[in-house]
Structure 1
């Protein structure tokens, strides 16, 4: 069974999470510099079968697009051109960074480790994917 991949796209770096082959467990995969994301994805899609990609939809508390929304939209368009056969699913990413930070605290990571923004991005992508899977199974 193919995997589902989640992308928490950012200006500098992008967090990536992926399911297991049974699409039950969401796990952090890595964080990559955003400028190398497309080549990373191209290599990953050659190695692993992926059925769909979740991409975070940045919104403000009132539901309006956040200031980073145009950047993410440009990435989504570029992604669709590069991978036209890949199903893209947009998911609300509000609170994922805060939830990721809280997860780090709950996991007992020291303050220095919690300042690792790359880890926060990877955990955020994992949270998006986990939430998607839990809704999908209902």
Structure 2
């Protein structure tokens, strides 16, 4: 199985950004964590991170016919992006929404997810392990 792992804005700032919420591990640590887990699960994982909504839309569209599923942490775009929702619907690949923090216990606006409608499941609040759980969900889909 080939999975595209997409991370949105500010995920590249892990380790610096609000360490009390996101921890001290970096984006490079996250990628290595997922690579190890993917190898154990016999999954091929590719990675994409951008702070730009259109680039994320392009990555989703380019996944069509190349990947079997998408793990996506749209970050702040979770709560604002109809474009990302529409891209996920357009490619119709199984997708799992992931959040490092437990977004439902944070600010009220974080309880709204535009992308959830196009995802088969959501994993929230499990830190880096959430990405692994998302891959497991895709393997069962």
Same fold flag (TM > 0.5): no
Higher relative strand content:
1
Higher relative contact order at CA 8 Å, sep ≥6: structure 1 or structure 2?
1
With normalisation by structure 1, the TM-score equals 0.36
Work out which of the two has the higher radius of gyration on C-alpha atoms and give 1 or 2. Answer: 1
With normalisation by structure 2, the TM-score equals 0.36
